[in-house]
Every structure is written in structure tokens, then in C-alpha cells.
Structure 1
Amino acid sequence: MASTTPSGRNESVLPRLLSVVSVGVVLLLLAPTPTPAKPFKIGDIIGALADVAKDTFQQGEIELFGHYCIYRREPHIKSLELYYRSEVRCPGWTSIIGRSDDRQNPTHSESEAEKDFVIKAVAKGLVTKEEAAAYF
């Protein structure tokens, strides 16, 4: 079996065909064997979603300037990306609410809400700039 190449030379197709087939056989032998798929369990998906929700939705207590305060963080989607909103409020002390929106890091979202609260507390005269300096 001979063929003419574009350069006009006669070459045998058989050696090229055998080399292609032998490379394919070697690749098949080296490829990992597929493992059987795990059965689909809805409980696994619900458990994974619960873990994500536990880590993204947060609510807790903190102390600011000797006062009892609470914080809350929740996720939201913006431009198909996960962002966090946070709030800090001290219900027995003031009606000020510190807020932070559009932070991709949940910890930064909480600290920015805390800073916003402190800035508002200084503006209202509830704390001095010296007292607030620890939060900046």
C-alpha cells in the first residue's frame, strides 16, 4: 500500500497506521479504570447545603464599649457571585445600626459593619474618637 504525499513522495500507510493504533492501545492501558458511581442520595445534597448555610448565615452576640450587641450576617448573590451583608446593633443602648454590604469575605463584612456602627456612634456623641480608635 503506497500513497503519494503532497510533496510527491511515496510513503507506506501501514507503518503510520500501526503507530497510531499502538499509541491508542498504550493510552487505553495507562488510563485509569472507571470506578462505579455512588448512588444518588438526596440526603447528601441536603447535608452539604446545610453545612454551607451554617457557615454563611451567622448571628451572634458581641460587646461594644461595654454594651451588649448583636450581629447578623447573610449571603446574597450579585453578578452571579456570592457576597455578604452584615448588621451590628446594640438594642439596649442605641438605635444605631452598623451595616456592610457587598463584601466577598464574610469576616470582612462583619468587621466593616462593626466599623460603620462605631463611626455612627462617634457622630452621635455616644463614644469619643479616642475610644473608637481601637476599632480602626
Structure 2
Amino acid sequence: MSARIRWCGSRNWTRRGDRGSAEPLFILPVVFVMVLGVVQVGVWAHAQHRVQAVASQTLASARALNGSTALAYQRAEQAQEQLGGAMLQRVEVDVTREPEQARVLVRAQAVSVVPGATLPVSMRVSGPIEHLAP
């Protein structure tokens, strides 16, 4: 690395090649945190879609003509296994089946890319119970 030394007066010597050399030390960590933040938002959005898929499949089983809450919980487990991966943590499924309506609430946490970030995801769906019309 060659730097030109220039005479600037009585006893002032300056190096022109060293200007701005400390800037990457401050910029790179900020850029790295910003990239991790964007990745974390993508992971959160993907986890939200997975929770939505589990909830809709569970609701379909709960509101079926011969459905039950036990069958809905089994379907929720199957849906989580089919989706695979460790995208969702601490998954909780709550199924309520009444004579006219079924409700499903799925709560979980998205995997954290940024240390210390906890991003909850949830989906609440409901629909009428299927009945045979005379």
C-alpha cells in the first residue's frame, strides 16, 4: 500500500491514502444487522403461513359431519409432521366444537435468527359444523 505524503506547511505532514479507512468498521455491523432483520421477517412470514395451514386443516377435520375434537387434534399433529422442519416452536392448538360451530386457535413461535428476538405467530379460524339437509 503506497500512500503519498504531502508537505502542508511548516511541520504538517499528511497521508492522503488513509482517509476513510475506519468507515467499514462502523458500516459493516450495521449492514449485517439489517440483513439479519430482513431474514428474520421472512422467517416470521413463513412461520405465519405454516400456522395458517395447520389451523385450516384442523378446522376442516373439526367441522366435518362425523368430526370431533379428538380427530381435529390428530389432524393438527399430522399437519405439523407433514409440514416438517423446525420452523415453529412451542406449538399450541386449541379446538372447540359446539353444536353449530367449530373454532381452532393455533399459537406458536417462529424460529429466531436474530438473538433474543421472540416472534409469536397465531391463527384463529372458525366455521359452521356440517349437517345433512333433509
| Interval containing the TM-score (normalised by the shorter chain) | under 0.3
TM-score, normalised via structure 1 length: 0.26
TM-score, normalised via structure 2 length: 0.26
Between structure 1 and structure 2, the one with the greater Rg is 1
Q: Which has the higher contact order (CA 8 A, sep 6+)?
A: 2
